[in-house]
Amino acid sequence: MTARIFISRDSGALCVGAEQVATAFRKAFEKRGLNVEIVRTGSRGMYWLEPLVEVERPEGRIGYGPVQVKDVDGLLDAGMLDGGKHKLSLGRVDDIPWLKRQTRLTFYRCGIVDPRSLEDYKAHKGYEGLKKALQVGPKAIVEEVVTSGLRGRGGAGFPTGIKWRTVADTPPQQKYIVCNADEGDSGTFADRMIMEGDPFVLIEGMTIAGIAVGATKGYVYIRSEYPHAIEAMEIAVREARKGGMLGRRIAGSEFDFDMEVRAGAGAYVCGEETSLLESLEGKRGEVRAKPPLPAHIGLFGKPTVINNVLSLASVPIIMSEGGPHYRDFGMGKSRGTMPIQLAGNIKHGGLFETGFGITLGELVDDIGGGTRSGRPVRAVQVGGPLGAYFPRELFDTPFDYEAFAARDGLIGHGGIVVFDDTVDMAKQARFAMEFCAIESCGKCTPCRIGSARGVELVDKITKGEDRAANLIVLEDLCNTMKFGSLCALGGFTPYPVMSALTHFPEDFGAEKKRLAAAE
Ligand SMILES: Cc1cc2nc3c(=O)[nH]c(=O)nc-3n(C[C@H](O)[C@H](O)[C@H](O)COP(=O)(O)O)c2cc1C
Ligand code: SF4
């Protein structure tokens, strides 16, 4: 039997040298006359261990990392191919506590399979969800997704099954499935990871969505900053088509479904669903007023399901294991698992998939191991650039849509960005307003003008210009943006600003208010 080792070609691994390490192993195997296959996988999501090299052994995959080119000969001399001990030994990868503590439903195969191989996907339970979907038919698929309690992972948390039902209930006509892979939130990379590491799961999820609502065509809109994800998706779409899993009569059934990959041009607002649809239609990415909902009048004026990558990639396991199995994980109205992304100044950054309900403190201190700088954690921003900053006092907040909303925060796409005690929260608040001013599509006044005025106000406050009066104006402006903006870009920018001001007033030269939410 040929020995096999596994090295990721995920962007996060490539940028710390995975390609060079793979080349060094290839050369070393040639030189030593060893017959070893190097399988290029996605990442397991433990980025501090990348480049991670895994060796296939009867007892499971044995890991070594982070491996650099200079380590290659030493590893082979230490008997790495037989699972030999070395200073970079990590033991059985599945036993690494960080991985073992997770509940990997959506990321089940990520980091394990060859993302370019349809055969490998099928060998790891791939297309079992589609098989079940074809057995039960469109109506039952929608009900299974409703039962699972799956809520949109793009940020708004809208129930996916209800959205699908709305599109399914529109009269038969050309309908579309659009996958939102714009992933513009700071500190997020789960969409990228799954597209690079397990692209077929997204294709399967979109295919099931197509059957459920009567759509025959899908588009994945991927941000242009993700060239590796674009390449991985394009290869997987080609392979799926070749294997009869896309196109006419998919998997020998009566259903047709095909899809295309589209690259965005790089605007944060193009992640907003209606703006994305405009962009897909070849127009400037500007938000559309709602109603009509995209479910009724979406892409090219036709009923459209638009879902985040993670929402769609969770569907195959919901179908294969059943809605109740998925719903069993989580808390309250947040059901199933969430692929949480730990980023910023954090010791153990990466992807941690777990049932909703874990606390913010557990994620940052325990799983993330605190800051990379070794300094105390001062603040975390959860949910991207429009998410609130939480201080330590709020670390008992469970990861749950409602619990975060009750504390004026949001979980968004599940990104957590950690800051140590050197952060200046007034600068962060200014940045939120500045970001909004730069990224605003310009359609509505509270966002277009409000964000520019917001930057000026924060500047005046930090300079001590008429501070008390300007603090009142800032709060008033935030309320205008929150309640008067057409979409969540202008509507949520007040969250990082007001949370910074509420929890860290000393950075603005203001007095601390009572922390109502923490009491
Ligand atoms: C400014 C802005 C940016 C957004 N960016 C994204 C994004 O990058 N990816 C995403 O899935 N949803 C994003 N959303 C949310 C989408 O509008 C929409 O809610 C989502 O695609 C629906 O899919 P879901 O129900 O599966 O979450 C954004 C929203 C706003 C207002
Ligand atoms: S809130 Fe901003 S991004 Fe959204 S529609 Fe208004 S101007 Fe455009």
Q: What is the mean pLDDT of residues 169-174?
A: 97
Q: Is 276 in the pocket of ligand 1 (CB under 6 A)?
A: no
CATH number at residue 440: 1.20.1440.230
134 and 270 co-located in one domain: yes
| Same-domain status, 179 and 224 | yes
Task: Among 100, 128, 159, give the residue marking a domain's end.
Answer: 100
In whole angstroms, how far apart are CA 373 and each of 187, 272, 393, 425? 17, 34, 21, 18
110-153: pLDDT as tens digits: 999 999 999 999 999 999 999 999 999 999 999 999 999 999 99
Gap between the Cα atoms of 37 and 53, Å rounded: 13
What are the C-alpha distances in Å from 410 to residues 106, 192, 330, 378?
A: 21, 21, 17, 18
Question: CA 5 to CA 22: how far, in whole Å?
Answer: 10
Mutate which of 153, 180, 185 for ligand 1 pocket (most atoms within 8 A of beta carbon): 180
Does 91 fall in a domain? Answer: yes
Residue 92 Cα to ligand 1 middle (Å): 37
| Same-domain status, 414 and 430 | no
Q: How many domains does the chain have?
A: 4
Indicate if 166 and 294 belong to the same structural domain. Answer: yes
Which pLDDT score is estimated for 378? 98
Q: Does residue 111 lie within any of the structural domains? A: no
Helices (H) and strands (E) in the chain, counts: 21, 16
Assess whether 140 and 155 both reside in one domain.
yes
User: CA-to-CA distance for 400 and 210, rounded, in angstroms?
Assistant: 29
pLDDT of residue 475 exceeding 60: yes
* Neighbour count for residue 465 (Cβ, 10 Å): 11
- Boundaries of domain holding 69: 3-100
Residue to substitute in 269, 449, 451, 492 for testing ligand 2 pocket (most ligand atoms within 8 angstroms of CB): 269
pLDDT tens digit sequence for 482-494: 999 999 999 999 9
What confidence score (pLDDT) does residue 519 get?
37
Q: Do 260 and 149 reside in the same domain of the chain?
A: yes
Q: What is the CATH number of the domain that holds 32?
A: 3.40.30.10
Question: Would the CB of 437 count as within 6 Å of ligand 2?
Answer: no
Q: Looking at the structure, tell me whether residues 255 and 146 fall in a common domain.
A: yes
pLDDT at 512: 60
Kindly state the percentage of the chain with pLDDT values over 70: 98
pLDDT value of position 265 = 83
Contact 203, 109 (CB under 8 A): no
Residue 1's pLDDT band, with cuts at 50, 70 and 90, is: low
Q: What is the mean pLDDT of residues 155-171?
A: 97
191 and 337 belong to one structural domain: no
**106 occurs within a structural domain:** no
Q: Is residue 49 part of a domain?
A: yes
Do 284 and 303 lie in one domain? The reply is yes
In the chain, % helix, strand, coil (3-state, to 5) comes to 45, 15, 35
What pTM value is reported for the model? 0.96
Please report the pLDDT score of residue 510 as a whole number. 72
**Residue 513 falls inside a structural domain:** no
Residue 113 lies in a domain: no
Q: Which atom of ligand 1 is nearest to the CA of 489?
A: 1
User: Same domain for 410 and 455?
Assistant: no
Decide whether any atom of ligand 2 lies within 6 Å of the 482 Cβ. Answer: no
Residue 350 lies in a domain: yes
183 CA → ligand 1 middle, Å: 8
Please indicate, yes or no, whether residues 146 and 273 belong to a single structural domain of this protein: yes
As a dihedral over the C-alpha atoms of residue 220, residue 223, residue 225, residue 231, rounded to 10 degrees, the angle is 10
Residue 514: pLDDT over 80: no
| Residue 422, pLDDT above cutoff 50 | yes
CA distances from 105 to 6, 95, 97, 313, 339 (A): 21, 17, 17, 10, 9
Determine which residue's CA is closest to atom 4 belonging to ligand 2: 487
Indicate which CATH number applies to the domain containing 350: 3.10.20.600
Confidence of residue 515 (pLDDT cuts 50, 70, 90): very low
195 and 296, same structural domain? yes
Does the CB atom of residue 181 touch ligand 2 within 6 A? Answer: no
pLDDT of 202: 98
Average pLDDT over residues 378-389: 97
How far, in Å, from the CA of 214 to the mean position of ligand 2? 32
Return d(Cα 189, Cα 183) in angstroms, integer: 7
> Does 284 reside within a domain?
yes
Check which CATH number belongs to the domain holding 275 and give it: 3.40.50.11540
- Choose the residue to mutate in 435, 439, 485 for probing ligand 2, maximizing ligand atoms within 8 Å of C-beta: 485
- pLDDT tens-digit readout, 193-226: 999 999 999 999 999 999 999 999 999 999 999 9
Q: Is the confidence at residue 516, as pLDDT, over 50?
A: no
- State CA 225 to chain mean position distance: 15
Domain finish residue from 420, 446, 466: 420
Q: Is the pLDDT of residue 167 over 90?
A: yes
Q: Which of 401, 420, 439 is the last residue of a domain?
A: 420
Residues 319-374: tens digit of each pLDDT? 999 999 999 999 999 999 999 999 999 999 999 999 999 999 999 999 999 999 99
pLDDT digit string, tens, across residues 89-120: 999 999 999 999 999 999 999 999 999 999 99
Stretch 495-518: mean pLDDT = 78
